[in-house]
C-alpha cells in the first residue's frame, strides 16, 4: 500500500489508489458510519425537528465513541467534580448531534469520492473541500482504531514490531497507513 496524496494545486490533492486500497478505505468508512449511527430520530429531513433536537448529556459507553465525542470539560479521564460533569453534559447536549453530523458528512464524502473510481483503482482528485472531509474521515478512523488497539504515545514504536501471527497486525497496518495518508494529505494541501 504505497498510495499517498500529492498536491494538485489550489489546496487540492490527488492520490493513486489500487483497487484493494480503495476497497479497504471504503470498508472502514462504512464501518465508521455504522459506529456513529444515524442522526436524531433517524435520517429525518425535517429541518425544524433537527433545529430543536437535543443530544445526549452523558458520554458514550463505547470507548471509541467516547474518543470521537470527548467531554468538553475536565482532563483525559473526564470531568473531575459535579460542576464540571454538569457543564460537560450541557455542552454535549447542544453540540454532539452537530459533531456526529459532521463526522457522518466526512465519512460519506470519502465514500462518495471512492465510489467515483467505479469500484476500481485509479487517480482520485480531491478539491480543497473534499480534502477537508478526507482529513476529518482519516482522523476519525485513526482515533477509533487507536482506541480499539489501546495505542498510547508510549506504545507507538511497538506497533512496528508485531509478529505476523498477532491478530492485531492488520488493524495496526491500517492505523499506520491512515496516519501516512493523513500526513501526506496535509503536506499536499500546504504545497
Length of the chain (residues): 191
Distances (CA, A) of 8 to 29, 101, 126: 24, 28, 8
**At 81, phi and psi to the nearest 5?**
-115, 175
Contact 63, 147 (CB under 8 A): yes
Please name which of 80, 76, 99, 61 lies closest in space to residue 153, comparing C-alpha atoms.
76
CB 142 within 8 A of CB 178: yes
What is the DSSP secondary structure assignment for residue 42, as one 8-state letter?
Answer: S
Taking the model in full, what pTM does it have?
Answer: 0.87
**pLDDT tens, 42-68?**
555 666 665 566 777 788 899 999 999
* High-pLDDT (> 90) share of the chain, %: 56
pLDDT attached to residue 1:
41
> How many other C-beta atoms lie within 10 A of the C-beta of residue 184?
17
Element (DSSP H or E) covering residue 31:
helix 19-36
Given a contact cutoff of 8 angstroms between Cβ atoms, the answer to whether 5 and 181 are in contact is yes
**Digit-coded pLDDT (tens) for 128-170:** 999 999 999 999 999 999 999 988 776 666 777 888 898 989 9
Amino acid at each position: 500500500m504505497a498510495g499517498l496524496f500529492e498536491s494538485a494545486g489550489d489546496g487540492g490533492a490527488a492520490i493513486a489508489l489500487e483497487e484493494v486500497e480503495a476497497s479497504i478505505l471504503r470498508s472502514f468508512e462504512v464501518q465508521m458510519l455504522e459506529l456513529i449511527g444515524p442522526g436524531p430520530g433517524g435520517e429525518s429531513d425535517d429541518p425544524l425537528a433537527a433545529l430543536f433536537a437535543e443530544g445526549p448529556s452523558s458520554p458514550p459507553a463505547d470507548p471509541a465513541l467516547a474518543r470521537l465525542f470527548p467531554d468538553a470539560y475536565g482532563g483525559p479521564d473526564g470531568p473531575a467534580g459535579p460542576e464540571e460533569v454538569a457543564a460537560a453534559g450541557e455542552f454535549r447536549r447542544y453540540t454532539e448531534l452537530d459533531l456526529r453530523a459532521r463526522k457522518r458528512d466526512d465519512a460519506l464524502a470519502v465514500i462518495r469520492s471512492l465510489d467515483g473510481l467505479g469500484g476500481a483503482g485509479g487517480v482520485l482528485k480531491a478539491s480543497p473541500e473534499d480534502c477537508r472531509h478526507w482529513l476529518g474521515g482519516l482522523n476519525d478512523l485513526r482515533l477509533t482504531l487507536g482506541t480499539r488497539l489501546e495505542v498510547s504515545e508510549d506504545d507507538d514504536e511497538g506497533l512496528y514490531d508485531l509478529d505476523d501471527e498477532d491478530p492485531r497486525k492488520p488493524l495496526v497496518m491500517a492505523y499506520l497507513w491512515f496516519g501516512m495518508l493523513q500526513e501526506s494529505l496535509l503536506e499536499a494541501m500546504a504545497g
